[in-house]
Structure 1
Amino acid sequence: MGNDRRYKGLLLDEADFALPRDCDMEALTEAVEDYLVAEFSDEFDHPYLEIIGVVTEGLGETTACSSDRVRAVWVKPDMQFRDIFLGMATGLGIPEPLATTTLKTGRTDGIETHLENRIRAHVDDRDYDGAQKLMAHLPGLRSSGVPGVIEAGGFDTRGDDEIVDFRVNNYGPGQRLLAEIAFDWGQ
Protein backbone atom coordinates (compact mmCIF):
# COMPACT_ATOMS: atom_id res chain seq x y z
CA MET A 1 0.00 0.00 0.00
CA GLY A 2 1.41 3.41 -0.97
CA ASN A 3 1.61 6.64 0.92
CA ASP A 4 -0.98 9.38 0.64
CA ARG A 5 1.20 12.06 -0.98
CA ARG A 6 -0.10 15.43 -2.24
CA TYR A 7 2.04 17.53 -4.57
CA LYS A 8 1.98 21.30 -4.39
CA GLY A 9 3.78 23.90 -6.42
CA LEU A 10 4.35 27.22 -4.70
CA LEU A 11 4.83 30.30 -6.84
CA LEU A 12 7.28 32.49 -4.96
CA ASP A 13 9.50 35.44 -5.85
CA GLU A 14 13.22 35.97 -5.35
CA ALA A 15 12.41 39.41 -3.89
CA ASP A 16 10.68 37.74 -0.93
CA PHE A 17 14.06 36.40 0.23
CA ALA A 18 16.71 38.71 1.66
CA LEU A 19 19.41 37.70 -0.80
CA PRO A 20 21.85 39.80 -2.82
CA ARG A 21 20.91 40.39 -6.47
CA ASP A 22 23.93 38.40 -7.61
CA CYS A 23 23.19 35.26 -5.56
CA ASP A 24 23.61 31.88 -7.19
CA MET A 25 21.10 29.05 -7.48
CA GLU A 26 22.60 27.19 -4.53
CA ALA A 27 22.05 30.14 -2.16
CA LEU A 28 18.55 30.73 -3.49
CA THR A 29 17.61 27.05 -3.16
CA GLU A 30 18.91 26.99 0.42
CA ALA A 31 16.87 30.10 1.32
CA VAL A 32 13.74 28.60 -0.25
CA GLU A 33 14.24 25.28 1.55
CA ASP A 34 14.73 27.08 4.90
CA TYR A 35 11.52 29.03 4.28
CA LEU A 36 9.56 25.90 3.34
CA VAL A 37 10.74 23.97 6.39
CA ALA A 38 9.82 26.87 8.69
CA GLU A 39 6.46 27.36 6.98
CA PHE A 40 5.27 23.76 6.75
CA SER A 41 7.05 21.60 9.31
CA ASP A 42 5.37 21.11 12.63
CA GLU A 43 6.41 19.45 15.84
CA PHE A 44 4.50 16.28 15.01
CA ASP A 45 5.90 15.93 11.46
CA HIS A 46 2.47 15.04 10.12
CA PRO A 47 2.23 15.49 7.26
CA TYR A 48 5.86 14.96 6.43
CA LEU A 49 7.19 17.68 4.11
CA GLU A 50 9.24 16.60 1.12
CA ILE A 51 11.02 19.31 -0.89
CA ILE A 52 11.23 18.16 -4.49
CA GLY A 53 12.87 21.05 -6.32
CA VAL A 54 13.11 24.71 -7.25
CA VAL A 55 13.08 26.36 -10.66
CA THR A 56 13.71 30.05 -11.10
CA GLU A 57 12.75 32.44 -13.85
CA GLY A 58 15.47 35.01 -13.18
CA LEU A 59 18.46 32.69 -12.95
CA GLY A 60 17.05 30.29 -15.54
CA GLU A 61 18.12 27.30 -13.48
CA THR A 62 16.53 24.26 -11.88
CA THR A 63 17.51 22.42 -8.72
CA ALA A 64 15.85 19.02 -8.59
CA CYS A 65 16.04 17.78 -5.03
CA SER A 66 13.90 14.71 -5.60
CA SER A 67 14.85 11.26 -4.42
CA ASP A 68 14.11 7.79 -5.75
CA ARG A 69 10.91 7.58 -3.72
CA VAL A 70 9.40 10.89 -4.85
CA ARG A 71 8.43 11.67 -8.44
CA ALA A 72 8.44 15.29 -9.53
CA VAL A 73 5.28 16.61 -11.14
CA TRP A 74 6.57 19.98 -12.39
CA VAL A 75 10.19 20.68 -11.35
CA LYS A 76 12.38 18.31 -13.31
CA PRO A 77 16.00 18.57 -14.47
CA ASP A 78 16.35 20.62 -17.65
CA MET A 79 12.82 22.07 -17.28
CA GLN A 80 12.76 25.85 -17.28
CA PHE A 81 10.21 28.03 -15.47
CA ARG A 82 8.72 29.11 -18.79
CA ASP A 83 8.41 25.52 -20.04
CA ILE A 84 6.45 24.43 -16.96
CA PHE A 85 3.87 27.18 -17.31
CA LEU A 86 3.59 26.88 -21.07
CA GLY A 87 2.72 23.24 -20.38
CA MET A 88 0.10 24.33 -17.85
CA ALA A 89 -1.35 26.73 -20.42
CA THR A 90 -1.47 23.99 -23.05
CA GLY A 91 -3.37 21.80 -20.58
CA LEU A 92 -5.94 24.59 -20.25
CA GLY A 93 -6.23 24.93 -24.03
CA ILE A 94 -4.49 28.33 -24.08
CA PRO A 95 -2.53 29.02 -27.29
CA GLU A 96 1.22 29.31 -26.77
CA PRO A 97 1.50 32.90 -28.12
CA LEU A 98 -1.06 34.12 -25.54
CA ALA A 99 0.68 32.23 -22.73
CA THR A 100 4.12 33.50 -23.77
CA THR A 101 2.91 37.11 -23.81
CA THR A 102 1.36 36.72 -20.37
CA LEU A 103 4.48 35.14 -18.90
CA LYS A 104 6.66 37.93 -20.33
CA THR A 105 4.42 40.85 -19.36
CA GLY A 106 2.16 39.68 -16.54
CA ARG A 107 -0.82 41.02 -18.50
CA THR A 108 -3.70 38.57 -18.57
CA ASP A 109 -6.34 40.29 -20.72
CA GLY A 110 -5.68 38.12 -23.81
CA ILE A 111 -5.82 34.84 -21.90
CA GLU A 112 -8.87 35.98 -19.93
CA THR A 113 -10.77 36.76 -23.13
CA HIS A 114 -9.74 33.39 -24.59
CA LEU A 115 -10.87 31.52 -21.45
CA GLU A 116 -14.13 33.47 -21.21
CA ASN A 117 -14.96 32.53 -24.82
CA ARG A 118 -14.17 28.88 -24.12
CA ILE A 119 -16.29 28.97 -20.94
CA ARG A 120 -19.23 30.36 -22.93
CA ALA A 121 -18.79 27.60 -25.52
CA HIS A 122 -18.80 24.97 -22.76
CA VAL A 123 -21.98 26.47 -21.28
CA ASP A 124 -23.62 26.60 -24.72
CA ASP A 125 -22.74 22.90 -25.11
CA ARG A 126 -24.06 22.23 -21.59
CA ASP A 127 -20.60 21.05 -20.56
CA TYR A 128 -20.81 22.66 -17.14
CA ASP A 129 -17.96 20.60 -15.74
CA GLY A 130 -15.61 21.89 -18.48
CA ALA A 131 -16.79 25.45 -17.88
CA GLN A 132 -16.29 25.12 -14.14
CA LYS A 133 -12.75 23.75 -14.53
CA LEU A 134 -11.76 26.76 -16.65
CA MET A 135 -13.56 29.21 -14.35
CA ALA A 136 -11.58 27.88 -11.38
CA HIS A 137 -8.38 29.19 -13.02
CA LEU A 138 -9.52 32.75 -13.71
CA PRO A 139 -9.05 34.25 -10.21
CA GLY A 140 -5.54 32.78 -9.87
CA LEU A 141 -4.63 33.94 -13.36
CA ARG A 142 -5.79 37.48 -12.62
CA SER A 143 -3.91 37.71 -9.33
CA SER A 144 -0.70 35.93 -10.36
CA GLY A 145 -0.33 36.67 -14.08
CA VAL A 146 0.67 33.03 -14.57
CA PRO A 147 -1.52 30.41 -16.30
CA GLY A 148 -2.46 27.36 -14.27
CA VAL A 149 -1.89 28.94 -10.85
CA ILE A 150 -4.62 29.23 -8.22
CA GLU A 151 -4.93 31.81 -5.46
CA ALA A 152 -3.32 31.12 -2.08
CA GLY A 153 -6.75 31.16 -0.41
CA GLY A 154 -7.36 27.78 -2.02
CA PHE A 155 -4.20 26.22 -0.54
CA ASP A 156 -4.68 22.89 1.19
CA THR A 157 -2.11 20.30 2.26
CA ARG A 158 -4.50 17.64 1.03
CA GLY A 159 -6.68 17.93 -2.07
CA ASP A 160 -5.48 18.01 -5.65
CA ASP A 161 -1.95 18.40 -6.94
CA GLU A 162 -1.85 22.11 -7.82
CA ILE A 163 0.28 25.21 -8.12
CA VAL A 164 -0.60 28.04 -5.73
CA ASP A 165 0.43 31.70 -5.78
CA PHE A 166 2.21 31.81 -2.43
CA ARG A 167 4.03 35.13 -2.91
CA VAL A 168 3.95 37.87 -0.31
CA ASN A 169 3.70 40.45 -3.11
CA ASN A 170 3.30 40.21 -6.87
CA TYR A 171 6.48 41.79 -8.21
CA GLY A 172 5.63 40.78 -11.76
CA PRO A 173 7.72 38.83 -14.27
CA GLY A 174 11.46 38.34 -14.05
CA GLN A 175 12.21 36.94 -10.60
CA ARG A 176 9.45 34.41 -10.01
CA LEU A 177 10.26 30.92 -8.91
CA LEU A 178 8.42 27.66 -8.42
CA ALA A 179 9.11 25.40 -5.46
CA GLU A 180 7.64 21.93 -5.70
CA ILE A 181 6.86 20.15 -2.46
CA ALA A 182 4.90 17.11 -1.38
CA PHE A 183 2.97 16.44 1.79
CA ASP A 184 3.28 12.80 2.78
CA TRP A 185 0.38 11.82 5.03
CA GLY A 186 1.65 8.27 5.50
CA GLN A 187 -0.40 5.13 4.95
Structure 2
Amino acid sequence: MGNDIRNKGLLLDKADFALPSDCTMEALAESVLEFCHAAFSNEFDNPSLEFYGVVAEGFPEEDACAFHEEPTIWLEKSLGFRGTFLKLAADLGIPEEKASQAIKTGHGDLLEDHLKIEIMRHLDDRNYHDAEALMLHLPGVREIGLPGVLHGGHFDMSGRDVIVDYRVNNYGPGRRILAEIGFNWGQ
Protein backbone atom coordinates (compact mmCIF):
# COMPACT_ATOMS: atom_id res chain seq x y z
CA MET A 1 0.00 0.00 0.00
CA GLY A 2 1.38 3.40 -0.93
CA ASN A 3 1.51 6.58 1.04
CA ASP A 4 -1.16 9.26 0.78
CA ILE A 5 0.70 12.15 -0.85
CA ARG A 6 -1.01 15.44 -1.77
CA ASN A 7 0.92 17.47 -4.32
CA LYS A 8 0.81 21.24 -4.22
CA GLY A 9 2.24 23.75 -6.63
CA LEU A 10 3.33 27.06 -5.14
CA LEU A 11 3.56 30.14 -7.34
CA LEU A 12 6.32 32.23 -5.79
CA ASP A 13 8.45 35.18 -6.87
CA LYS A 14 12.23 35.65 -6.86
CA ALA A 15 11.71 39.09 -5.31
CA ASP A 16 10.65 37.40 -2.07
CA PHE A 17 14.04 35.70 -1.73
CA ALA A 18 17.27 37.51 -0.86
CA LEU A 19 19.21 36.37 -3.91
CA PRO A 20 21.35 38.24 -6.41
CA SER A 21 19.79 38.80 -9.82
CA ASP A 22 22.37 36.51 -11.43
CA CYS A 23 21.86 33.57 -9.06
CA THR A 24 21.97 30.03 -10.37
CA MET A 25 18.96 27.76 -10.59
CA GLU A 26 20.54 25.58 -7.90
CA ALA A 27 20.83 28.54 -5.50
CA LEU A 28 17.23 29.51 -6.22
CA ALA A 29 16.04 25.94 -5.65
CA GLU A 30 17.92 25.76 -2.34
CA SER A 31 16.30 29.01 -1.17
CA VAL A 32 12.86 27.75 -2.12
CA LEU A 33 13.55 24.46 -0.34
CA GLU A 34 14.60 26.33 2.83
CA PHE A 35 11.46 28.49 2.59
CA CYS A 36 9.25 25.40 2.25
CA HIS A 37 10.89 23.67 5.21
CA ALA A 38 10.44 26.78 7.36
CA ALA A 39 6.82 27.28 6.26
CA PHE A 40 5.54 23.70 6.28
CA SER A 41 7.67 21.50 8.53
CA ASN A 42 6.34 20.78 11.98
CA GLU A 43 7.13 18.66 15.01
CA PHE A 44 4.47 16.09 14.15
CA ASP A 45 5.10 13.03 11.98
CA ASN A 46 2.31 13.79 9.52
CA PRO A 47 2.41 15.26 7.08
CA SER A 48 6.03 15.15 6.11
CA LEU A 49 7.20 17.54 3.42
CA GLU A 50 8.43 16.29 0.05
CA PHE A 51 10.20 18.78 -2.23
CA TYR A 52 10.13 17.87 -5.91
CA GLY A 53 11.66 20.88 -7.62
CA VAL A 54 11.25 24.28 -9.20
CA VAL A 55 11.00 25.99 -12.56
CA ALA A 56 11.47 29.71 -12.93
CA GLU A 57 11.30 32.50 -15.44
CA GLY A 58 14.63 33.94 -16.51
CA PHE A 59 16.30 30.54 -16.80
CA PRO A 60 16.55 28.33 -19.88
CA GLU A 61 13.32 26.48 -20.61
CA GLU A 62 14.97 23.11 -20.11
CA ASP A 63 16.41 24.09 -16.71
CA ALA A 64 14.52 22.54 -13.81
CA CYS A 65 15.76 21.16 -10.52
CA ALA A 66 14.00 17.97 -9.59
CA PHE A 67 15.38 16.62 -6.32
CA HIS A 68 13.47 13.35 -6.33
CA GLU A 69 13.20 10.59 -8.87
CA GLU A 70 9.51 10.26 -8.04
CA PRO A 71 7.14 11.44 -10.73
CA THR A 72 5.77 14.93 -10.41
CA ILE A 73 2.38 16.17 -11.51
CA TRP A 74 3.35 19.47 -13.11
CA LEU A 75 7.13 19.76 -13.42
CA GLU A 76 9.00 18.19 -16.30
CA LYS A 77 12.67 18.89 -16.90
CA SER A 78 12.14 19.64 -20.57
CA LEU A 79 9.23 22.09 -20.19
CA GLY A 80 10.53 24.96 -18.08
CA PHE A 81 8.28 27.68 -16.71
CA ARG A 82 6.50 28.74 -19.90
CA GLY A 83 6.02 25.18 -21.14
CA THR A 84 4.58 24.08 -17.81
CA PHE A 85 1.91 26.77 -17.94
CA LEU A 86 1.17 26.17 -21.62
CA LYS A 87 0.49 22.54 -20.71
CA LEU A 88 -1.82 23.64 -17.87
CA ALA A 89 -3.64 25.94 -20.29
CA ALA A 90 -4.12 23.12 -22.78
CA ASP A 91 -5.60 20.97 -19.99
CA LEU A 92 -8.13 23.77 -19.38
CA GLY A 93 -8.92 24.11 -23.08
CA ILE A 94 -7.30 27.55 -23.35
CA PRO A 95 -5.80 28.21 -26.79
CA GLU A 96 -2.01 28.46 -26.85
CA GLU A 97 -1.94 32.02 -28.22
CA LYS A 98 -4.12 33.34 -25.38
CA ALA A 99 -2.17 31.41 -22.76
CA SER A 100 1.17 32.49 -24.21
CA GLN A 101 0.14 36.16 -24.14
CA ALA A 102 -1.06 35.88 -20.53
CA ILE A 103 2.16 34.14 -19.44
CA LYS A 104 4.28 36.78 -21.16
CA THR A 105 2.40 39.82 -19.84
CA GLY A 106 1.01 38.54 -16.53
CA HIS A 107 -2.44 39.84 -17.50
CA GLY A 108 -5.20 37.30 -17.04
CA ASP A 109 -8.01 39.18 -18.77
CA LEU A 110 -7.75 36.97 -21.88
CA LEU A 111 -7.85 33.88 -19.68
CA GLU A 112 -10.83 35.19 -17.73
CA ASP A 113 -12.76 36.00 -20.91
CA HIS A 114 -12.05 32.56 -22.38
CA LEU A 115 -13.02 30.74 -19.18
CA LYS A 116 -16.31 32.67 -18.94
CA ILE A 117 -17.22 31.76 -22.52
CA GLU A 118 -16.36 28.10 -21.98
CA ILE A 119 -18.29 27.98 -18.70
CA MET A 120 -21.37 29.40 -20.42
CA ARG A 121 -20.98 26.89 -23.25
CA HIS A 122 -20.83 24.03 -20.76
CA LEU A 123 -23.86 25.38 -18.90
CA ASP A 124 -25.83 25.65 -22.14
CA ASP A 125 -24.92 22.01 -22.87
CA ARG A 126 -25.92 21.06 -19.29
CA ASN A 127 -22.39 19.84 -18.74
CA TYR A 128 -22.31 21.04 -15.14
CA HIS A 129 -19.28 19.00 -14.13
CA ASP A 130 -16.97 20.66 -16.68
CA ALA A 131 -18.50 24.09 -15.98
CA GLU A 132 -17.82 23.65 -12.27
CA ALA A 133 -14.23 22.53 -12.93
CA LEU A 134 -13.55 25.69 -14.95
CA MET A 135 -15.33 27.94 -12.45
CA LEU A 136 -12.77 26.91 -9.84
CA HIS A 137 -10.13 28.72 -11.93
CA LEU A 138 -12.15 31.88 -12.58
CA PRO A 139 -11.75 33.80 -9.29
CA GLY A 140 -8.39 35.51 -9.27
CA VAL A 141 -7.27 34.53 -12.78
CA ARG A 142 -7.24 38.18 -13.86
CA GLU A 143 -4.88 39.13 -11.01
CA ILE A 144 -2.76 35.97 -11.07
CA GLY A 145 -2.29 36.08 -14.86
CA LEU A 146 -1.41 32.39 -15.28
CA PRO A 147 -3.56 29.45 -16.34
CA GLY A 148 -4.17 26.67 -13.86
CA VAL A 149 -3.27 28.65 -10.73
CA LEU A 150 -5.86 29.06 -8.01
CA HIS A 151 -6.15 31.89 -5.49
CA GLY A 152 -4.09 31.33 -2.33
CA GLY A 153 -7.26 30.66 -0.32
CA HIS A 154 -7.41 27.22 -1.95
CA PHE A 155 -4.23 26.09 -0.19
CA ASP A 156 -4.38 23.29 2.31
CA MET A 157 -2.09 20.39 3.14
CA SER A 158 -4.70 17.79 2.30
CA GLY A 159 -7.43 17.83 -0.30
CA ARG A 160 -6.84 18.05 -4.00
CA ASP A 161 -3.60 18.41 -5.91
CA VAL A 162 -3.62 22.11 -6.90
CA ILE A 163 -1.34 24.99 -7.79
CA VAL A 164 -1.93 28.10 -5.69
CA ASP A 165 -0.66 31.67 -5.80
CA TYR A 166 1.55 31.74 -2.71
CA ARG A 167 3.32 35.02 -3.52
CA VAL A 168 3.59 37.78 -0.96
CA ASN A 169 3.03 40.32 -3.76
CA ASN A 170 2.42 40.06 -7.47
CA TYR A 171 5.53 41.69 -8.92
CA GLY A 172 4.53 40.77 -12.46
CA PRO A 173 6.17 38.56 -15.05
CA GLY A 174 9.86 37.86 -15.45
CA ARG A 175 10.75 36.39 -12.06
CA ARG A 176 7.93 34.01 -11.15
CA ILE A 177 8.73 30.58 -9.73
CA LEU A 178 6.71 27.39 -9.61
CA ALA A 179 7.69 24.95 -6.87
CA GLU A 180 6.13 21.52 -6.60
CA ILE A 181 5.93 19.99 -3.15
CA GLY A 182 4.04 17.12 -1.59
CA PHE A 183 2.56 16.48 1.81
CA ASN A 184 3.11 12.83 2.72
CA TRP A 185 0.41 11.71 5.15
CA GLY A 186 1.77 8.17 5.43
CA GLN A 187 -0.28 5.04 5.05
TM-score of the pair, normalised by structure 2: 0.95
From 42, 67, 74, give the equivalent of 1:65.
Answer: 67
Moved more, 92-101 or 111-120: 111-120
1:31 aligns with 2:24: no
1:143 CA drift (Å): 2.6
Q: Distance in 2 between matches of 1:125 and 1:90?
A: 21
In structure 1, what is the equivalent of residue 54 of structure 2? 54
> Structure 2: how far apart are the matches of 1:151 and 1:112?
13
Q: Is the 8 A contact 1:54 1:178 kept in 2?
A: yes
CA distance in 1, matches of 2:93, 2:76: 22
Confirm whether residue 161 of structure 1 aligns to residue 126 of structure 2: no
* Contact 1:140 1:165 (8 Å CA) reproduced: no
CA distance in 2: counterparts of 1:176 and 1:142, whole angstroms: 16
- Post-superposition Cα deviations, 1:126-173, rounded to whole Å, max 9, x if no partner, equal 112211111110114123110000011110111111111100000111
Matches within 5 A, 1:77-96: 77-96=77-96
Q: Which amino acid aligns with 2:171?
A: Y
Structure 1 residue 78 displacement after superposition: 2.0
Does the 8 A contact of 1:89 with 1:148 survive in 2? yes
What is the rounded CA distance, in whole Å, between the counterparts of 2:180 and 2:43 in structure 1? 22
Q: Which residue in 2 is equivalent to 1:97?
A: 97
- C-alpha contact (below 8 Å) 1:7/1:182 kept by paired residues: yes
What do you get for the CA RMSD once the two structures are aligned? 1.1
Q: Distance in 2 between matches of 1:127 and 1:3?
A: 34
Q: What code does the residue aligned with 2:123 have?
A: V
Q: Which moved more, 1:111-120 or 1:167-176?
A: 111-120
Structure 1 residue runs of 5 or longer lacking an equivalent are none
Q: Any gaps of 5 or more consecutive residues in structure 2? A: none
| Conservation of the 8 A alpha-carbon contact between 1:52 and 1:181 | yes
- Aligned position for 1:136: 136
Counterpart CA distance in 2 for 1:94 and 1:14 is 27
SS in 1 for 2:55: strand
AA of the residue aligned to 1:126: R
Distance in 1 separating the partners of 2:45 and 2:142: 34
How many pairs are equivalent?
Answer: 185
CA distance in 1, matches of 2:36, 2:140: 21
Name the amino acid aligned to 1:63.
Answer: C
Q: Give the drift of 1:7.
A: 0.6
CA distance in 2, matches of 1:83, 1:45: 35
Does the 8 Å CA contact 1:143/1:151 hold for their aligned counterparts?
A: no
**2:143 counterpart SS class:** helix
- Higher deviation after alignment, 125-134 or 88-97: 125-134
TM-score after normalising by structure 1 = 0.95
Query: Hey, what's the Cα distance between the residues in 2 that align with 1:80 and 1:140?
Result: 23
Instruction: Please say if residues 53 and 76 of structure 1, whose CA atoms lie closer than 8 Å, have aligned partners that are also in contact.
Output: no
